Amino acid sequence: MLAKLTSKNQLTLPKSVTQAIGPAEYFEVQARDGQIVLTPVRLQRGDAVRAKLAELGLGEPDVANAVTWARAPVATAPWTTGARARSTKRRS
């Protein structure tokens, strides 16, 4: 079977191949002896979040600061019916 590499370095895998390996969204990619080897990886959602945080260069302190910010008390706006109103502006 052939798969074409596009100018954007994308491959479309043949349907028969993807059906044979089962559902997979991510693949471990290796170059071995002039061949490209794709191995399906089934990530847990937490793993995907951790991978994205690492990709963005965010660590545990950054996450802790974000949680603290999100849990901070907010003022009640006088025009609301007692519901808490959160500003959409970012805090420093």
Q: What is the DSSP string of 7-75?
A: TTS-B---HHHHHHH-S-SEEEEEEETTEEEEEEE---HHHHHHHHHHHTT--HHHHHHHHHHHHS--P
Other Cβ atoms less than 10 A from the Cβ of 43: the count is: 13
Confidence of residue 9 (pLDDT cuts 50, 70, 90): very high
3-state secondary structure at position 5: strand
Confidence of residue 90 (pLDDT cuts 50, 70, 90): low
What is the total residue count of the chain?
92
In whole numbers, what is the pLDDT of the chain averaged over residues?
84
Whether residue 31 is predicted with pLDDT greater than 70 in this model: the reply is: yes
Look at the pTM and tell me if it is higher than 0.75: no
pLDDT for the residue numbered 6: 94
Whether residue 58 is predicted with pLDDT greater than 90 in this model: the reply is: yes
